[in-house]
Amino acid sequence: MNKIQIGLLILALILAPYTNAVSVGTGQSLEEHKIVKHLNDQYPEAMRLLEKSVNINSGTMNFAGVKAVGMLYKKQFEDIGLTTQWVDGATFNRSGHLLAEYAGNGPKILMIGHLDTVFAQDDEFQKFRPIDERYVAGPGITDMKGGNVIIIEVLRALKAAGTLENLNIKVVMTGDEESSGRPLSQSKAAIIDAAKWADIALGFEDGDSNIKTAVVARRGSVNWKLDVSGRAAHSSQIFSDEVGYGAIFEAARILNEFRTQLAGKGELTFNPGLIAGGTETNLQAKTSTATAFGKNNIVAKDLIVQGGIRALTQEELDNAKTVMYNIVSQNLLHTNATLQIGDGYPPMAPTPGNYQLLELYSQASMSLGYGTVEAVNPRNAGAADISFAASHVEMALDGLGLMGSGGHTKDEVADMDSFRKNMHKAAVLMHRLSVAHEDH
């Protein structure tokens, strides 16, 4: 669909979301009521699928486990009628990605999930464990196997209702969201290619785990490394014309200038997370550890700093890079500094299209009696795979998955009330997108 068609679709949804529908007295159409009923009837099976997938360890580097979860979901998609493909991840040192596709006659919608978790094979936190009628603990249950199951069950319900025929669907479930394979040009190619095809991207992460919010913007996240050198000499000669200021004073200047020139600028944040300096330094990148040797009476020769930057828009990130490179270039006497800013997650900017999609999602929520849905503060939502898709589509929305608390920890607990409700909301939203297209 082009921008004009997308605009007409949005207008149709906002002005007449229940066109040609028979009201059942709840703000839903008769078709939507049937979709919700199907989801409710299927709910016990959805719970069993969730439990089965949580009980398969799929820490990012457990390649066999990641693929096993992918194969579990692959069968579900094929049972619904989608065509599937497993993309091997050998070229980017990860297990791979699961792709699923349904060719209908409507808006092109990309649905995004991920198969991996942060819990390794030897982690003690391995099993799905009900706490009470509402809460369940489990590794990766909210981040994001619950969201994956929501994708599957929504598509199953839409297929049963005949709605899927009016949608074009691509699902991408990556195997490396928690620890991206390199190069990113290969590990994220499946998402980027699908996004270039799509009109709309929907992400089923848990957002900030508040059912009253969804994500219209995520800050991008990239890493940086600063290498500083100076002239080693007896400390009695520091500040002299022959010796200069040494690596540590130069690094202190640079870091302080980063703070004074960039702190408080929009949604930008940056953080030096590791530093080591002295006569000799050594960095072990794989383990994020560093060692240093130095003496109080020797001017420091070398220093390394590692850090990260988060920015809400590409413009914000580009401006920060320009300022940082400029600061690094203005070296103190007899010192030198080199800044490397790597690749990473791009920003998901808060575009008008994203806010329009949020409004449609909020309308769906209200029609179900679940109240309004507002935008998450981007500082409360970390980076996610949808960031690689957002700049390629007209509208993007994330945070539609299973919610809870304690993500990335052994205290990860899902609020199963959000499991059912967020299935309903996503299914109604997608049904309305199909109806608006059919009517126009």
What is d(CA 139, CA 129) in angstroms, rounded to the nearest whole number?
10
Q: How crowded is residue 309: how many other Cβ atoms within 10 Å of its Cβ?
A: 24
Structure tokens given for 425: 């909301």
DSSP H helical ranges for 224-340 = 246-262, 314-329
Q: Which residue has the tokens 């066109």?
A: 19
Strand partners, 277: 303
How far is residue 350 CA from its own chain's centroid? 15
Q: Is 315 helix (H, G, I), strand (E, B) or coil?
A: helix
pLDDT digits (tens, 9 = 90+) for 57-106: 999 999 999 999 999 999 999 999 999 999 999 999 999 999 999 999 99
User: Residue 28: its pLDDT value, please?
Assistant: 86
pLDDT digits (tens, 9 = 90+) for 147-182: 999 999 999 999 999 999 999 999 999 999 999 999
pTM of the model: 0.90
Q: Give the chain's residues under pLDDT 70.
A: 1-26, 437-440
pLDDT digits (tens, 9 = 90+) for 3-33: 545 554 554 554 444 444 434 445 789 999 9
Task: Give the CA radius of gyration of the chain.
Answer: 25
Question: Could you tell me the domains of the chain?
Answer: 3-9+25-218+348-439 (3.40.630.10), 220-345 (3.30.70.360)
User: Residue 286: its pLDDT value, please?
Assistant: 78
Contact 195, 106 (CB under 8 A): no
